[in-house]
Structure 1
Amino acid sequence: MAEPTSLSSAATLAAGVGLAAVLPGIDGNALIGAFAGATLFVVSAKSLPLWQRLVYLLISVVAGYLAAPDIVRWMPIRSTGVAAFIAAAVGITVTLALIEKSRAFDLSWLRRGGPPNA
């Protein structure tokens, strides 16, 4: 069963996204698509604590919303909602994987002034 705190905060956040989507100058399709993609990521990341999932939700919504016009321009997708959904769901997953991979790189040669074995 879901925690009551997570249900109430998710409902509040969803209501806020719905209200923001009707504001002038806001692309409602992209905002709702980004929220749906971010929610998909948050729901699938059960191993993370609640506060961390909420932070990732906000980051994913913003990134998905901002990336939607570029995805529509570069790919054969015409809906900003679908583009924002893809960007929000995939963007944070790829970014977290890149951060984890970058921790394994040995970048100490940058401080010494040259590549290793040079």
Structure 2
Amino acid sequence: MAEPSTATLLVTTAAGIGLSSLFPGIDGNALIGAFAGAALVAISSKNLPVMQRLAYMVISLAVGYLAAPEVINNSPLKQSGVAAFFASAGVIALTLHGIDLIKTIELPDWIRKGGRNE
């Protein structure tokens, strides 16, 4: 079960998401889908500190909402809520995996020395 601080955070954020979907110009379906994906990321990151989970949640929410139109254009998905959910749920995992891959790249010596050929 989620700890009380996480549950309170999720309920408060859900209320804010629900209220913000009433404003014109905001895609409520994408916002709710992105929140669902971000909540999944926050809840499934059990071994991380609360502040890091909160940061993951905010990043997932923002990227999921912004990426929904791109996911719709490049996939068979047609609903912005579903597209935002998948984008939001996958962004942290894909980004962290990409960072790990970048760390393992072996750079040639001339790049590590600042471009000097000695």
**1:22 is aligned to 2:22:** yes
Q: Distance in 1 between matches of 2:55 and 2:41?
A: 12
Q: CA deviation at 1:109?
A: 4.1
Query: How many residues are matched?
Result: 115
Q: Which runs of 5+ in 2 are unaligned?
A: none
Aligned residue in 1 for 2:74: 74
Aligned residue in 1 for 2:11: 11
**1:110 is aligned to 2:114:** no
Q: Distance in 2 between matches of 1:6 and 1:18?
A: 18
Cα gap change, 1:37 to 1:109, in 2 (>3 Å) = farther
Q: Deviations over 1:18-45 (max 9, x none)?
A: 1111111000000000000111111111
SS of structure 2 residue aligned to 1:14: helix
**1:53 is aligned to 2:53:** yes
Alignment root-mean-square deviation, CA: 1.8
Q: CA deviation at 1:5?
A: 1.8
Fraction of identical pairs, as percent:
51
Cα gap change, 1:2 to 1:41, in 2 (>3 Å) = closer
Aligned residue in 2 for 1:91: 91
Q: Distance in 2 between matches of 1:43 and 1:10?
A: 9
Q: CA deviation at 1:102?
A: 1.6
Q: CA deviation at 1:3?
A: 2.5
The TM-score, its normalising length taken from structure 1, stands at 0.88
The TM-score, its normalising length taken from structure 2, stands at 0.88
Cα gap change, 1:74 to 1:109, in 2 (>3 Å) = same
Q: Distance in 1 between matches of 2:35 and 2:110?
A: 41
